[in-house]
Structure 1
Amino acid sequence: MTDNNHKLDHSYDGIEEYDNPLPGWWKWLFVASIAFSPMYWVFYHGGAEGRSVHDIYDVALAENTRLQFAEIGDLEPNAETIVRYSHKKNWVRVGEVIFKTNCISCHGRNGEGMVGPNLTDEYFKYIQNVEDIAKVVTNGAGGNAMPAWKTRLHPNEIVLVSAYVASLRGENVEGGKGPDGREISPWPEALPEPEKEATP
């Protein structure tokens, strides 16, 4: 019979440790996990599309985006659309989330400017009209100082984050970066919502 009362030679502050063998089930579980890991890696990371965590996340994100934008359809990045959505509180919040997910490292949490310019004053460097916001977001500016987001954001996300940026103008948040660029004309007034055709 195995003596399980044998103690190890070391002790710490009077605390002694028994030299008991590992349970058999634990050893088999350890061996099984090693045997399972190559199969897991091949299945989820071996190049097959749609199996990795990233692929599953991308599919879920695309589906969520599709459902979210089903209500508004495909938005055009023009002045009328950007100004209209800059006055829609619920969609401004969506634009704010997009902004705070992607833009705060350069423009600050509230648009006050850090490496990038202050978005809350009346001075703009690459923007003359409100639709230029979407152009800058889409294509970048300043020799890649502002990166292009056309391959990373849905077209509707570009419009909504542009609407959020447009809504920041004139906020002049405390601690904002100094003026960069020149003062431009005010944004146009929001036009009334187009009437929806009555369903027969």
Structure 2
Amino acid sequence: MSPNNREQEQEPQNRVIHSVDGIEEYDNQLPRWWLFTFYGAIAFAAVYWFHYQSSGFGELPMATYRAEQDRAAAIAAEKVKAMGTMTPEALITLSKDKTTVTQGQQVFVQTCAACHRQDGGGVVGPNLTDDFWLHGGAPEKVYKTISEGVLDKGMPAWGPQLGPDRVQAVTAYVLSLRGTNVAGGKAPQGERETLTAR
């Protein structure tokens, strides 16, 4: 074999794709590390998609975060219930606990839906899903309105019938409705109040 043939064998056989203004573009082979990275990324994406999206084996990061938030809210709600005193902060804490809100929703549907609709949009009673309140929107005022009622407006005192635990749960549910502005709700009544503990 001649020296020229050996040099041709050692040099890669590059094919010119095109040439413009004397500049030639070759069809070079990609480096192996680049190919391994590229194919590895494709394999990782396929496994990730199958694990999190297709099969349901793993939880997506947002779902994990929400589950942690729900656990933290449940723990905080248990501490509030153990303390026994109902402060505005305690009522706000209960309004973030899914278990308490679900219990409150069940009581609300049974006792309050006739006047406030099942979604809180208001029928005879006011809309509970906006930011306007006739008797105060602070957590302790909502609790007092539910517990003691507003007899001259036709709102019964639910405290004696429901007991403190269920009144707390209904208050938590009503606080969770704020700002949802359900479709077909009654026009705003009262004064606008933001949800802050006082």
The TM tier, using the shorter chain, reads 0.5 to 0.7
Asked which structure has the greater CA Rg, the reply is: 2
Contact persistence 2:148–2:157 (CA under 8 A): yes
CA distance in 1, matches of 2:138, 2:167: 16
Partner in structure 1 of residue 110 of structure 2: 101
Alignment pair present for 1:147 and 2:156: yes
Question: TM-score with structure 1 length normalisation?
Answer: 0.56
Shift of 1:73: 4.2
Contact persistence 1:75–1:159 (CA under 8 A): no
Alignment pair present for 1:90 and 2:99: yes
**Structure 1 residues 168 and 128 mapped into 2: Cα distance closer, same or farther (>3 Å)?**
closer
Which consecutive unaligned segments of at least 5 residues does structure 2 have?
1-77
Alignment pair present for 1:115 and 2:124: yes
The structure richer in helix per residue is 2
Alignment pair present for 1:79 and 2:88: yes
Partner in structure 1 of residue 193 of structure 2: 184
Which consecutive unaligned segments of at least 5 residues does structure 1 have?
1-68, 190-200
What CA RMSD, in Å, does the superposition of the two structures yield over aligned residues? Answer: 2.1
Spell out, residue by residue over 1:47-105, the C-alpha distance to the aligned partner (whole angstroms, 9 max, x if none): xxxxxxxxxxxxxxxxxxxxxx9x94474332111100100011110111111110000
Question: TM-score with structure 2 length normalisation?
Answer: 0.56
Question: Secondary structure at the residue paired with 1:186?
Answer: coil
**Structure 1 vs Structure 2: percent identity of aligned residues?**
35
Partner in structure 1 of residue 178 of structure 2: 169
Give structure 1 regions of 4+ aligned residues with deviation exceeding 3 angstroms. 71-75
CA distance in 2, matches of 1:186, 1:144: 23
CA distance in 1, matches of 2:140, 2:171: 8
Shift of 1:128: 4.2
Contact persistence 2:138–2:197 (CA under 8 A): no
Contact persistence 2:142–2:171 (CA under 8 A): yes
Spell out, residue by residue over 1:171-190, the C-alpha distance to the aligned partner (whole angstroms, 9 max, x if none): 0000000001010133349x
Partner in structure 2 of residue 129 of structure 1: 138
Would you say how many aligned residue pairs link Structure 1 and Structure 2? 120
**Structure 1 residues 177 and 188 mapped into 2: Cα distance closer, same or farther (>3 Å)?**
same
CA distance in 2, matches of 1:72, 1:139: 20
